[in-house]
Amino acid sequence: MFRNKILLTALLIVLSASSAMAFKPIDLGDGHYLKFFYDAQFGYTGRNTGSGDEGEDSTNEFNFRRNRVGFIGTYNEKLSFYVQTEYIEDKNISPLYVDVSDDDDKNFYLLDAQIRYKVNGNLDVVLGKFKHSLTRENLEGCFNPLTLDRSHFVYAPFKTSRDKGIGVRYEVAEGLLQFRGEIQEGRTGDEGNGSPDPGSNLRYTGRVHLSLLDKERGYGYKGTYFGKKKILTVGGSAQYEADAVYGDTVDKTDKKDYVAYSADIFAEYPTDLGTFTASAAYLEIDFDDAYKGANPDSNSYGLNGERKGQYFKAAYMLPQPVGPGLVQIFGRYDNFEFANLNGFYDNEVDFYAGGINYYLNEDKLKITAQYSQVTFEDERGTDTNMQDFSTFELYLQVRF
């Protein structure tokens, strides 16, 4: 097993020997331009459970973590657009479960479709389908996180990462303070699981951050700035949707609101000894104890249901390149308590991970290796999908 991982690492380094090429913008004249891009993360995931007659054998998979094509364009200096598609084949290994029963699912969908209007240097408006602002982790770019990926536990219910609506970002004091507000669809229909929707109510999100050193401006964040900035940003956010679930889906009674809160801090500081990065956040998702109802909506519990917890992550980047690239060592710890997970109430999950990023062209071309362990406070019998497990992941990222 260890030998195979070494061979995989060597193969990815060979594939990464040349720098990633970028598509050049197409100048359409009169201030218009169009730029195409392709972003992908492809690699190996190995878990020590999930396969075999009893589900106790190791599971191995090559797959795309992300596989995206899109384009960006401008109409003028104020009006622009952003479109991004995703193509993903069946993933056997997910954050908490292994499913090797079917390998035929293929999904191609519109991930983002935004019209952006810059009113002035401090005020932006976005319309369409875009990321919500409940957590900093969700706003950190998918292709520039600090660790292999963002937290498995910070996603919002229903529209977990993106939703359709309108958002406003406003900055004051040259980026010292940033305010965001969003009105989006929220829950629509039964979300594919047969649980009825009490109503078609909009979802509201608000966020504010204080950026004390170099400013984090714009709509997104990065998980690391490669030692080019000194960052200390503190943020907080909230999200609300009225009558989001039933406590009793059979009689369609006991309507419950959805409320969520999050607070976060991010710091990065370059020194002569290297660059140090640290980040932490708290998240609470609340359905007013809907999971205790007579026939609770399944959206109110489980992995994306009612829960609370926090994560901590840190990294150290060596001051000088190693060969052609920069080396960054990272670690993270997530701890979340779920209202009901795997059939257990108040089930606590711990996630430990450590690894290495090797950047050949910042986030344009990098290799990441990560080893992680997941432990459940309460495990279910012999079902290996509901027992402690470990995972090794090795991925190559390219951005064109």
Hey, which residues does 241 pair with through a beta bridge?
Answer: 258
- Give 2's DSSP letter: H
Q: Is 396 exposed, middle or buried (0-12, 13-18, 19+ CB in 10 A)?
A: buried
Q: CB of 138 within 8 A of CB of 157?
A: no
Q: What is the pLDDT of residue 179?
A: 97
Beta carbons within 10 angstroms of residue 345's beta carbon: 12
Tokens 């050193």 -> residue: 213
Model confidence, pTM? 0.89
Cβ(112)–Cβ(95) below 8 Å: no
β partners of residue 45: 61, 393
Answer for the pair 154, 133: CB distance below 8 angstroms, yes or no. Answer: no
Spell out where 75-161 has E strands.
79-89, 106-120, 123-131
According to DSSP, the residues that pair with 187 across neighbouring strands are: none
pLDDT at 14: 45
Rounded Cα distance, 166 and 41, in Å: 29
Given a contact cutoff of 8 angstroms between Cβ atoms, the answer to whether 15 and 396 are in contact is: yes
DSSP letter at 363 equals B
| pLDDT digit string, tens, across residues 140-167 | 988 989 999 999 999 999 888 999 999 9
Q: Which two tokens stand for residue 376?
A: 């459940």
Cβ neighbors of 141 (< 8 A, separation 6 or more) are 220, 221, 222, 223, 363
Domains of the chain, CATH where assigned: 2-399 (2.40.160.10)
- The 8 Å CB, 24+ separation contacts for 148-151 are 148/353, 148/355, 148/368, 148/370, 148/393, 148/395, 149/65, 151/311, 151/332, 151/334, 151/351
Q: How far apart are CA 133 and CA 239, in angstroms?
A: 9
CA dist 69 → 19, 37, 83, 335, 365 (Å): 19, 6, 9, 34, 16
* pLDDT recorded at residue 191: 54
Coil, strand or helix at 5: helix
Q: Are 313 and 130 in contact (CB under 8 A)?
A: no
Residue-level pLDDT at 262: 98
Residue 279 near residue 267 (C-beta atoms within 8 A): yes
What confidence score (pLDDT) does residue 10 get? 45
Block residue for tokens 């218009």: 32
> Strand pairing partners for 63?
43
Tokens of 66: 């992300």
* pLDDT for res 136: 96
State which residues of the chain have pLDDT below 50: 1-3, 6-7, 9-11, 13-20
390-400 pLDDT, tens digit each: 999 999 999 98
190: exposed, middle or buried (Cβ count in 10 Å: 0-12, 13-18, 19+) = middle
The token pair at 117 is 């209007």
